[in-house]
């Protein structure tokens, strides 16, 4: 049994990681933003010096992708996604803890036509992606032995996500237009969380990718959501040009792995069905 600290414990992913730590029989040390300000280097060092853990799973993140595109937004995102990751890496190294940090597909340009693997060159196109890459660099600068887990298209019961948004919209509309030109790997937090805990317990290090198995467009994902939820709502095809956003989205966000010790997640469609079976309902607040 290990003592595992979870930062960002109240977030969408953090809530499932907390549950996964307990389910695996480890001792849990859950930390919300109110418990620990990860942007405060002194506070982070002092906290883990006083309450050391065998592993730290960092689920804290600034996830407002469009909000990060303003100068003020990028500064705020960098403080959490980049600089704070370095604080946690230094505190983990000082106390012998193993850090597992959650990163993103947005560190890639999205222009490749085959799945991105861990050794592929990075090239973020958005401020959010730049700040997440800064976090990866901060961690590897402290110790390449810590784990950086890139994931994508996250959804779960504990926060705003595409699945709940689609179900809410379907409660008011007969048809919805969704883009066909963005391809990725929908990943249920309920599937990702136990993998993060296993990586922490095994003390696996370096960069690794962890996403729902398989790939689909947002359009195809929306169709699957309505089909599996038993919702009669048409999904019309459209393109990203019809929905201009401040931050560019990667056109191809499919992640694969070249690691021999890769821990696979279930197929994305199985994750969706498990999520819907856990109680997601039409009209859920996104």
Q: Which residues are catalytic?
A: 128
* 279 vs 46: CA distance, rounded Å: 40
What would the two tokens of residue 153 be?
A: 């298209």
Mutual angle of helices 268-277 and 189-202, in 10-degree steps: 110
Those residues whose C-beta lies under 8 Å from the C-beta of residue 112, and which sit 6 or more positions away, are 120, 252
Those residues whose C-beta lies under 8 Å from the C-beta of residue 145, and which sit 6 or more positions away, are 98, 205, 206
What would the two tokens of residue 57 be?
A: 């799973």
Q: Which residue has the tokens 């010096």?
A: 49
What would the two tokens of residue 258 be?
A: 């070249």
**Angle made by CA atoms 68, 245, 241, in degrees to the nearest 5:** 155
What does DSSP assign to residue 252?
Answer: B
What does DSSP assign to residue 213?
Answer: B
* 224 vs 178: CA distance, rounded Å: 12
Cβ pair 41, 87 in contact under 8 A? yes
Count Cβ atoms below 10 Å from residue 175 Cβ, excluding itself: 10
Which region holds residue 147: left if phi is over 0, alpha if psi is between -120 and 50, else beta? beta
* 78 vs 80: CA distance, rounded Å: 5
């Amino acid at each position: 049994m290990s003592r595992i600290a979870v930062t960002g414990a109240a977030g969408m992913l953090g809530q499932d990681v907390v549950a996964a730590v307990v389910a695996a029989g480890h001792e849990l040390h859950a930390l919300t933003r109110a418990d620990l300000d990860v942007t405060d280097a002194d506070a982070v060092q002092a906290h883990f010096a006083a309450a050391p853990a065998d592993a730290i799973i960092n689920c804290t993140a600034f996830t407002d992708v469009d909000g990060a595109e303003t100068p003020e937004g990028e500064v705020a995102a960098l403080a959490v996604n980049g600089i704070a990751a370095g604080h946690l890496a230094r505190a983990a190294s000082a106390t012998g803890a193993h850090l597992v940090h959650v990163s993103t597909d947005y560190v890639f340009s999205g222009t490749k036509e085959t799945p991105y693997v861990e050794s592929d060159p990075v090239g973020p196109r958005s401020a959010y992606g730049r700040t997440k890459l800064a976090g990866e660099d901060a961690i590897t600068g402290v110790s390449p032995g810590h784990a950086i887990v890139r994931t994508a298209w996250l959804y779960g019961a504990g926060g705003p996500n595409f699945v709940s948004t689609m179900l809410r919209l379907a409660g008011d509309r007969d048809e919805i237009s969704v883009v066909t030109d963005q391809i990725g790997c929908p990943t249920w937090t309920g599937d990702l969380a136990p993998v993060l805990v296993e990586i922490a317990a095994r003390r696996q290090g370096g960069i690794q990718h962890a996403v729902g198995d398989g790939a689909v467009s947002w359009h195809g994902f929306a169709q699957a959501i309505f089909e599996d939820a038993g919702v009669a709502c048409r999904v019309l095809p459209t393109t990203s040009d019809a929905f201009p956003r401040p931050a560019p989205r990667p056109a191809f966000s499919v992640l694969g792995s070249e690691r021999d010790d890769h821990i696979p997640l279930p197929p994305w469609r199985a994750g969706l069905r498990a999520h819907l079976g856990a109680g997601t309902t039409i009209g859920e607040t996104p």
